[in-house]
């Protein structure tokens, strides 16, 4: 740098380059709005969409490109797009693939905010939604029509955790609505329980959305979402919509995820083992617990489909309480827990409990009458969690 330049100029135009032989396990936190181009020709020729070059912070940095590549490996995909939350990733897919006059299909047990988005936002743009019962492929078959351009799936469903025959749902769409894309909200499977792009018999979904907020973060402290797919044309469609919406993610958040990913499979396995032990324990308690919902538990809805597809399960289970119990006594159970905290989301080191009014949640299929309490199992010792649940049941009985 020239000696004649003012210190104010020199402080901006410093010569820093990462040292060539500096190799460390951490991916650098690269921050950028502006990215410099050496020449105008370079500015005109660089393409961010195929991830071959950097053009603007919103379109990616070495940190986000690395995270995308690792998530593609995790999900068995080729292309990944990052969004500021799981919900915004779902929204990008809807906005990218649906036009006025189209219809989107949602499973009745879909993640609640997805249904809200269809009801309150998509409806305004002339895009209708229909629900199908994911446990009855015939119900999906009947909902398919030429206007259907997108079919969402979830395995298992939100809160009630019914595991559908996912390959059969995909087959049904391929056969009866070849114009429609099949999307999976893959937050539960997380890329670990099964490969959504290879479901067997040559079947696979077209794209997955993953709330990285859950297992990939693992800390309960970062919000992020991803969209993953294999088809380059589909990827470009999604990537352009994502870019036009101006959705980027923060470098520090991307770095937090890169730091958490190496331990994700171990955390998932530990939370799976603990949740299964707790599910078996809860199933043995009898009244006031009427039923335990966990796809790996024999008798839970769709257990056979889970067993046919999955290597493992997320650390979630739901307790269905006797419908004769007043809701305030189930609230007393949740309030009586000390180690389980009350709060949304899951996948962190701490266990969580949330009560749901079952009746209001479903419009078709299996009826749930009692209050449901969803438990997300953290990394505490299982014995301590079981003792906490036993104390919660005592609080319910005393209420
Ligand atoms: C949490 C969650 C989302 C949304 O993720 P956010 O990052 O909280 O927006 C979407 N789908 C499922 C199944 C989830 O559990």
Residues 120-154 have pLDDT tens digits of 999 999 999 999 999 999 999 999 999 999 999 99
Answer for the pair 274, 377: CB distance below 8 angstroms, yes or no. yes
CA 198 – ligand 1 centroid, Å = 23
Reported as a single tens digit per residue, the pLDDT across 264-277 is 999 999 999 999 99
pLDDT of residue 1: 46
Q: What is the pLDDT of residues 195-219, one digit of tens each?
A: 999 999 999 999 999 999 999 999 9
Q: Is the CB of 222 under 6 A from ligand 1?
A: no
What is the SS3 assignment for 128-189? EEEEECCCCHHHHHHHCCCCEEEEEEECCCCCCCCCCCHHHHHHHHHHHCCCCEEEEECCCC
Could you tell me if the CB of 93 is within 6 A of ligand 1?
Answer: no
> What per-residue confidence (pLDDT) applies to 267?
96
**Can you give the pLDDT at residue 3?**
64
How big is the CA angle at 333 (ends 329 and 334), to the nearest 5 degrees? 120
The response to whether residue 151 sits with its C-beta less than 6 Å from ligand 1 reads no
The CB of 186 under 6 Å from ligand 1? The reply is no
Atom number in ligand 1 closest to CA 85: 7
pLDDT digits (tens, 9 = 90+) for 277-287: 999 999 999 99
Task: Tell which residue, 225, 238, 162, 154, has the closest CA to residue 196.
Answer: 154
What is residue 365's predicted lDDT score, i.e. its pLDDT?
A: 66
Contact 184, 194 (CB under 8 A): no
Beta bridge partners of 319: 292, 373
Residue 127 Cα to ligand 1 midpoint, Å, equals 22
Closest CA to 351 of 319, 321, 320, 388: 388
Residue nearest to atom 5 of ligand 1 (CA): 86
Cα–chain center distance at 33: 27
Quote the CA–CA distance of 129 and 379 in Å, as a whole number. Answer: 38
Residues 234-261, mean pLDDT to the nearest whole number:
97
DSSP per position, 307-342 = HHH-S---SEEEEEEPTTS-HHHHHHHHHT-SSSEE
Residue-range domains of the chain with CATH: 40-263 (3.40.640.10), 264-398 (3.90.1150.10)
Measure 227 CA to ligand 1 centroid, in angstroms: 12
**What mean pLDDT is reported for the chain?**
95
Closest ligand 1 atom to 225 CA: 7
């Amino acid at each position: 740098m020239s000696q004649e330049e003012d210190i104010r100029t020199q402080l901006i135009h410093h010569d820093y380059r990462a040292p060539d032989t500096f190799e460390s396990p951490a991916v650098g936190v690269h921050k950028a709005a502006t990215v410099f181009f050496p020449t105008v020709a370079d500015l005109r020729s660089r393409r961010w969409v195929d991830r071959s070059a950097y053009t603007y912070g919103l379109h990616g940095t070495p940190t986000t490109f690395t995270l995308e590549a690792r998530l593609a490996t995790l999900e068995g995909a080729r292309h990944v797009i990052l969004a500021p939350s799981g919900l915004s990733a779902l929204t990008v897919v809807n906005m990218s693939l649906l036009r006025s006059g189209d219809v989107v299909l949602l499973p009745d047990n879909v993640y609640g905010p997805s249904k809200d988005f269809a009801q309150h936002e998509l409806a305004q743009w002339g895009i209708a939604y229909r629900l199908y019962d994911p446990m009855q492929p015939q119900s999906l078959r009947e909902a398919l029509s030429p206007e259907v351009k997108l079919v969402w799936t979830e395995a298992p469903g939100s809160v009630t955790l019914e595991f559908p025959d996912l390959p059969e749902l995909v087959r049904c769409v391929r056969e009866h609505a070849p114009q429609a894309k099949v999307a999976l909200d893959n937050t539960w499977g997380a890329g670990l329980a099964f490969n959504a792009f290879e479901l067997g018999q040559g079947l696979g979904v077209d794209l997955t959305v993953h709330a990285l907020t859950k297992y990939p973060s693992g800390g309960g402290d970062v919000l992020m979402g991803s969209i993953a797919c294999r088809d380059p044309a589909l990827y470009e469609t999604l990537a352009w919509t994502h870019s036009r919406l101006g959705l980027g993610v923060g470098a520090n958040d991307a770095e937090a995820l890169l730091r958490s990913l190496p331990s994700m499979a171990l955390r998932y396995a530990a939370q799976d083992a603990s949740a299964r032990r707790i599910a078996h324990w809860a199933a043995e308690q009898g009244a006031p617990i009427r039923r335990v919902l966990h796809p790996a538990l024999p008798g839970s809805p769709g257990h056979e489909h889970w067993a046919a597809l999955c290597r493992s399960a997320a650390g979630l289970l739901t307790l269905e309480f006797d419908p004769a119990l007043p809701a305030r006594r189930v609230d007393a159970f949740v309030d009586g827990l000390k180690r389980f905290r009350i709060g949304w989301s899951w996948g962190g080191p701490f266990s969580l409990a949330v009560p749901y009014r079952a009746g209001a949640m479903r419009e078709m299929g299996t009826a749930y009458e009692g209050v449901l309490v969803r438990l997300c199992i953290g990394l505490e010792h299982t014995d301590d969690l079981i003792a906490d649940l036993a104390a919660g049941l005592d609080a319910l009985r005393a209420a």
